[in-house]
Structure formats: structure tokens, C-alpha cells
Structure 1
């Protein structure tokens, strides 16, 4: 159980589920050839999960003092797992992920694509060691890396088999993946700020320069309130432009109930939030919005299929 906590197993499950949803709940329903076989795609998911696990481990190793202040019951390194063991696990997971990425890049005859995995692993390390302490840079990096886990599906499954004949179709499918990547970035960027609000005590003791420390809790919550209208406007536009006009009423109803309504709830709650429990709750709300947002690609695909 301690090892599962160290790698933040629930987050890894969600990451893997997200990539599986895009493959089997979206791309497979389009009746198009894909570059990777099922077991090769499984390796792609495994590589992503391994590198993410390595990122969580190195973050936990270097965050012990902060976590002792913010979440003393959740501290694993130094209590249940030694620092040396944690470092060995970090190198093991990261090396495995990069090695699988190198293999898959050669499978699709794009050996240079292996650099994607190296860059992601290196960025996670620099985030934990340096970037996390910087104002908004750490938030941006984490959100960007999550969105990249969506884009990488198109890079490895669509791009290698794209040619002049199927380019319009492949371009459209890739643009849909990009839309979801942008959605994931926006939600996760806001969530990272919420987590900074939640961890302000420990971050302050470590002299970090997070947004709540620099701007204060009240001004940061008001900024997040303003930022929360970005995904609301985007979702409203997307529903009206792509779902309502095409008669996809099941997908429209799903978007209104499971994505837009929780976003409105988040906006209302963040205005008056000022306690750690408030921010923990709102962080969970955003995680739920992200989950149901990703799952909407299945609802839309099925609505299109059975509406036709």
C-alpha cells in the first residue's frame, strides 16, 4: 500500500484510463487503420504511466519537508520507504518508460520521437528540483505534461500512417485530440493553483513563490474565480457549435450535466473558499470534471454512430 501511495496509484489509473478511452472509445470507432497494434498501444500507456510514476516519486522525495507540514499522514519517504529505495524506484520507473518509448519510436520508424519521452522525464525531474518553486511556471509545466499525454496518442497512432489521401480525416481526428488536450490543460492548470492554495502553509515554510504566497489567498481565489469562466465559455461554445447544431442531444445533455454544471458549482464555491478543506474539495471537483470531460469523447462518438 505504501508503494502505491508513493507512485500515486489512483492518478496513474486515471492517466491510463484516459489514454485507453481515446484509443478504444474514439479512434477505434472511426474505422480507420492505426499505427500501433493493441499490445503496442498497451506499451505506450505503460511508458506514459511509468514516467508519470517516476515523476511522482521524485516529487515525493524532494517534498518531504513540505508534506510534513501540509499532509503529515501522507508522508511515505523516510517513514515507510527509505530515500535510497525511493530513488531506485524513481530510476527504475523512468528508465523503463524511456526504454519503451525508444522501442515504440523505432516500431513506427520515427526514432527521433524517443526524445519526447526523454524530454518529459527530464522536465518532471527539473519540475521537482527547481521549477516547482517558481511562480506559475510549475503549474504551467504540470498542466502541459498532462495535456501532452493526450497529444501523444495522435503522435504515435495517427501521424505515422498519415498520407496525402487520408490527411483531411487524420487532421480532423488529431484536431479533436488537440481540443481535449487544451481542455485538460486548462482544468489541470486551475487545479494546480487550487493545490497551491491547499498547501500554502508548507510551501511558505519552504520559502516557495507560489501564487497564493505572492498574491495572498483571497486575491488568488478571486483570480481562480475569473479563470474558471474560461472553460465555462469554451464548453458552452463547443456544445453549441459542435453538438446542438448537429443534433447530438445525448452528448449535449451529458456535457451540460457532467461538465458544465460542475464547472458552475466550482465557480460559485471558489468565491468564498478560504480553508484547506474547501480547497481539497474543489480539487476533487476539478478532477471529476476532467474525468467526465475526457469520457465525453466516448459519448459523442456513440451519439454520432447511432444517430447516423
Structure 2
């Protein structure tokens, strides 16, 4: 059981669960209440969405490790699960089971929400994850963008499903309501934050794994443009993210009128991001990059937890 939990990256799955629950219960429902609407989506059906998301993510982690055995023997032999406690055949079987559950539950959600595009999405995600593990991951920045995009999608599907169900009760006009535009605006903001922090983490992870990736024929960003320019690129992404956050803060009264929001952004977002750039330029070993990657997870967690404050602003 311990091997399976390590294989599916349990901490990452818990972050997905936390993110989706906070988006719905800490942000979307308070916004709906502010505009006089009640949620239509049941807790059970929302739980199915979370289950589908977690199964899809877990299946992606399994198939990624399945195809990364040679590289992991170089980068992190002590942390390998497949061929070191779990047979490859068992890992593939586990991947198929997780993918099946994710697709089946996803198709059911698509049916009840009457969203045909969702059905296609849930069918294509396992294929996409397979090709990511076999092809896209070795193409560096393309693979980083795919992982970041899928992370952002985790937040977007929550608001999309919520309003798909509301349409069935209130009709299409609710899509043009202020409640819908407000919910989408805030959700996309957190999706953007999840996208950028994941993209940065993926690049830093490539810095950590550069030795094994190079021998495995990968064309990651650190291999293609070097460590120095990869660090510069990450720093630019970090600065742009901070500028975007502060621009939003000064642009909206609902944000800049809140003292808690000001100190939260300073202490738990801005200072950690600035510290991360310092740690980035000091890092030169796989262990240092691994610690930095963990630090970025903490920054992402702080960003997610801000949802609890954002929901109280309405």
C-alpha cells in the first residue's frame, strides 16, 4: 500500500482535492449566495468530479513512472517504486484501472451536465497523458506547458460544471449574469496562479533531473538553453506573476480595501516568491533543486488557501 501511495503522489492528489473543494465551497458558493443564487450541483456529484480528477491525475503519475524507469535509476534510484517493490505489470494494471474509473465517472458527469465536450475531454485526457509520458515530456517546455495546463484545468472544471447545472434550472441567461462572470473571473485568476506555479515547478524539477534526462534523450529546457538561462526564465515568470498579482490588487476595491488581503499577499505570496528567486540562484545540486521544488509547492498551497479569504470578501 505504501508503494502505491508513493506511486500516485498522494500529497499532490490531496492538493487537487483541496483546490477543487476550496474553489467550490470557499469561492463559488459564496459568490452565488452574494448574487442570490443557490447551488444546484449536489455534494455527491461534486464528489464524483473530484474522484474523476484524482483518478486521472493518479493514472498520469503511474504511467509517467512506468516509462521513466531508466531515467529514475539515475536521478532518484532510492525513490523508485516500479521494479523496486512493485512490478511493471502491476503498475500498468493499476494505471488501466485508474484511467477506467476516471473516464467512466467523467462520462457520467458529462451526461448529467449535458456537456458533450466534456465527454470528449475525459476520453482524450488518458491518451494525452500517455503521449506526454512517451513523447511530449522529452520535448521539454511543451511537456511543462501540458502539465501546467492540466493543473489549471482542475480548477476550471469546477466552475464549468457548477454553472452547467445552474443552466438546467435557471436557463441560459444565467451564463450572462454578473454571478457567472464574477465566478469565472476569480476562478480563472486562481487557475492562472496554479498554471504559473506548476510551470515554474516543472522547470525546476527538470533542473533537478538534468543528468538522467540528458542520458535519456530528453530535450528539457535546462538541457536546451542551459541552467543559467533557465534560471533567468524562471525569474522572469516569477516577476511577471508578482506584477500580475499586485496589478489585480490595486485595480479592484474589493481587494485593496481589505487589510488581511494586503498582508496575506505580502507575507505569504510576495516574500516567498522573492525568497524562491534567491534560493534558485544559490541552487546548484539536485538536492538543492529538490528542496526548492518543495518550497514552490508551499507557495502554491499559500495561493490556494487565499481562496478562504477571497470568499469572505463577498
TM-score normalised by length of structure 2: 0.92
Matches within 5 A, 1:1-308: 1-30=2-31, 31=33, 32-162=37-167, 163-165=172-174, 167-242=177-252, 246-302=256-312, 304-305=313-314
Cα distance in structure 2, aligned partners of 1:128 and 1:82: 18
Secondary structure class of the residue paired with 1:283: helix
Contact kept in structure 2, 1:198 and 1:276, CA below 8 Å? yes
Contact kept in structure 1, 2:24 and 2:159, CA below 8 Å? no
Secondary structure class of the residue paired with 2:241: helix
Cα distance in structure 1, aligned partners of 2:113 and 2:276: 42
List structure 1 segments (4+ residues) > 4 angstroms apart after TM superposition. Answer: 243-246
Contact kept in structure 1, 2:55 and 2:98, CA below 8 Å? yes
Contact kept in structure 1, 2:140 and 2:220, CA below 8 Å? yes
Deviation at 1:275, TM superposition (A): 1.5
Contact kept in structure 1, 2:28 and 2:159, CA below 8 Å? no
Q: CA RMSD in A?
A: 1.6
Cα distance in structure 2, aligned partners of 1:172 and 1:236: 19
Cα distance in structure 1, aligned partners of 2:254 and 2:161: 32
Deviation at 1:33, TM superposition (A): 2.7
Note the residue ranges of structure 1 that are not aligned, 5 or more in a row: none
Distance 1:103 1:245, change over 3 A: closer
Note the residue ranges of structure 2 that are not aligned, 5 or more in a row: none
Cα distance in structure 1, aligned partners of 2:124 and 2:97: 17
The higher relative CO (CA closer than 8 Å, separation ≥ 6) is in 2
Deviation at 1:112, TM superposition (A): 3.6
Deviation at 1:210, TM superposition (A): 0.7
Deviations 1:108-158 (A, max 9, x none): 222442112122222111100110000310000000000011101111112
Deviation at 1:167, TM superposition (A): 2.2
Secondary structure class of the residue paired with 1:25: helix
Secondary structure class of the residue paired with 1:26: helix
Secondary structure class of the residue paired with 1:81: coil
Cα distance in structure 2, aligned partners of 1:244 and 1:153: 23
TM-score normalised by length of structure 1: 0.94
Cα distance in structure 2, aligned partners of 1:21 and 1:301: 9
Cα distance in structure 2, aligned partners of 1:301 and 1:291: 16
Deviations 1:53-80 (A, max 9, x none): 0000000100111111111111111121
How many residue pairs match? The answer is: 304
Deviation at 1:245, TM superposition (A): 6.0
Cα distance in structure 1, aligned partners of 2:249 and 2:165: 31
Contact kept in structure 2, 1:120 and 1:145, CA below 8 Å? no
Secondary structure class of the residue paired with 1:21: helix
